[in-house]
Structure 1
Amino acid sequence: MDTTTPTPQPDQPYGTTSAPSWPQTLSVWATAQSTGPVQRRGRYVPQSVKHPARMLPAIAAHAVHAYTQPGDLVFDPMCGIGTTIVEAIHAGRDGIGVEYESRWSDTADANIAHAHRHGATGRGSVIRGDATHLAVLLPAALQGQVALVVTSPPYGPTVHGLVRPGSDGVTKYDNRYGEDKGNLAYRSSLGGLVEGFTDILRGCFTLLRPGGVVVVTARPWRKRGELVDLPSAILSAGTAAGLVPLERCVALLAAVRGGQLVARPSFFQLQQVRKARAGGVPMHLIAHEDVLVLGKPSPQPGDGVVA
């Protein structure tokens, strides 16, 4: 994948400090130098495009290279088409994911098999189930073994999807995760979404090794004109789950060309911005996702932990 900044190299083992440490790296990740379709071309099976909220492979790859070493275990509790796992196993790490919808877990399995056919050396697997109950989904032997969690919360069908032209303008399609209303994406309020995501992060906390890292990508969106500050809500969920905020980075959704940002907006973003500006609201295109980095503290002397 094309990037303009060098991939950060992993640090030495974290040791016993209360929070992980690694070399200082750029807080802006150049993760959209090529478009999402270009990043996935030949690397993912064609049906992957139908998922409504695909993480950019470059975002997952950057996180894997920045916060893990070869042989480490990477986990995604809402893995969708398996982007986190695919990028982990291509980088020589092992990857495991949980996915609620059988359609997408099947696609993730296909992407893992595709990656192995194209030289990926890590092991990868997907478990079908509800990530708000990780303790009953994953083997107890995995507790304390995960080096890195990379994931993104669902946004719902109003934010994502593809479009096709029609007689009445455009028609949206492939904008739903599935029809099962038990899916976290269909919780009716931000509070309900955050409550479920907090349960997921609590499960991740148990799976993480001391000094392990959680990377969550999120961005605010507008609902009936009001800004929904999802990144701040995710930070609150993380601290409620026992994690410690470490960094807040930016993953670009725009390319950098000649010192300028080249936006890569969706049709819906363009439509929303044009309507807002026509109504006198100076809205701008979203050119990044927030990357929230949290860690599991290592035990300290006197914490009562038996070595």
Structure 2
Amino acid sequence: MLSVSVWPCAQADSKAQRKGRYLPEYMAHPGKMLPAIAEHAITHYTQPGDLVVDPMAGIGTTLVEAVHADRMALGVEYEPRWADLARRNVEHATDRGAPGYAVVVQGDARDIVRLVGSDTVGKAALVLTSPPYEDSLHRHVRCGHGSSLTHRNPDESFIRFREILEGCYLLLKPGGHLAMTSRPKQCGGKFCDLPSRAWQSAIDAGFELLGRYVALLSEVRDDDLVNAADVPAHLPRHEEVHILTKPANSEVVAQRVTRIAA
């Protein structure tokens, strides 16, 4: 039976959550994960000293929240501009006393094992990321073209997303977790159920679905939802969060590793 719950992640709006914690340049990125969502997933599915991985790191939200929570973190980012900003955000966090440690690698996450090193295989406790959004993630809508994963058509994007998750499967230790945030969207006048496609990609990569959660993007006040100032009224007030796991059964894991590495 799947677990279901609500994560109250917007008691402060995104700007307040990032103030002083991230460099001001973060605002230029169109698809930022809400810091409180990352913090909630990290503190609930890892322990201090554990390794957290984000294969589509963007400006480094997962990494920054991981080092503040005394975790180790690895991030891969395709776009050099954002990889550089992610590194600087991590440096900013450590300068402010964050006790953890993080590394950012620029490259194609479909080759994540080679990029981060084979000695990382089987070491990660959590993979935390979002699927390709064609720049619509977190209240921005812009369908464009380019070389990165997020600018491809949805079918092509999810083939590549599954390939990324197959690499992440290898990095996770048996029983480790994959957490994905997503929301439905429209692009080109068509509805795309990104949450369902995201978790199906993860299932195809060998993961098992454990739970589906709602991460609120509105403040809870006196049993009512209060819309955050930076969330347009016509957009959803929540993210869907899917939690999956790498099977702990050694025989199943061995079969998956053999197939993916072939």
Q: TM-score, normalised by structure 1?
A: 0.77
Counterpart among 240, 247, 250 of residue 297 in structure 1: 247
Task: In structure 1, give the amino acid aligned to 2:133.
Answer: Y
Is 1:151 aligned with 2:101? no
Q: Which residue of 2 aligns with 1:16?
A: none
Verify the 8 A CA contact 1:99 1:127 in the aligned structure 2.
yes
Q: Deviations over 1:198-244 (max 9, x none)?
A: 00110000000010000000000023443210100011101110000
Q: Does 1:185 align with 2:135?
A: no
SS of the equivalent of 2:99 reads coil
Matching of residue 197 in structure 1 with residue 161 in structure 2: yes
Q: Residues 300, 154 of structure 1: CA spacing in aligned structure 2 closer, same or farther, 3 A cutoff?
A: closer
Q: Which has the larger displacement, 145-154 or 216-225?
A: 216-225
CA contact (8 A) 1:148 1:213 kept: yes
Distance in 1 between residues matched to 2:143 and 2:185, nearest whole Å: 17
Whole-angstrom CA distance in 2 between matches of 1:303 and 1:85: 27
The secondary structure found in structure 2 opposite 1:60 is: helix
Pick from 72, 90, 109: which aligns with 1:94?
Answer: 72
The match for 1:287 among 237, 240, 245 is: 237
Out of 28, 31, 36, the position equivalent to 1:58 is 36
1 CA distance for matches of 2:175 and 2:242?
Answer: 16
Question: What is the percentage of aligned positions where both structures have the same residue?
Answer: 44
33 and 298 in structure 1: CA distance in 2 versus 1, 3 angstrom threshold = same
Do structure 1's residue 243 and structure 2's residue 207 form an aligned pair? yes
Code of the aligned partner of 2:205:
A
- 1:32 paired to 2:10: yes
The runs of 5 or more residues in structure 1 that have no matched partner are 1-23, 163-171, 274-284
- Mapped to 2, the partners of 1:304 and 1:86 lie a distance apart of 32
Query: Which of the residues 23, 28, 32 maps onto 1:45?
Result: 23
* Deviation at residue 154 of structure 1 after TM alignment: 2.8
Report the number of matched residues: 253
Q: Secondary structure at the match of 1:52?
A: coil
Question: Match of 1:184, as an amino acid?
Answer: L
Secondary structure class of the residue paired with 2:181: strand
Letter in 1 for 2:197: A
Taking structure 2 as the reference length, what is the TM-score of the superposition?
A: 0.89
Segments of structure 2 that go 5 or more residues without pairing to the other structure are 256-262
- Give the corresponding residue for 1:219: 183
**Alpha carbon RMSD of aligned pairs, Å?**
2.4
- The answer to whether the 8 A contact 1:265-1:286 is kept is no
Aligned equivalents of 2:254 and 2:236: distance in 1? Answer: 47
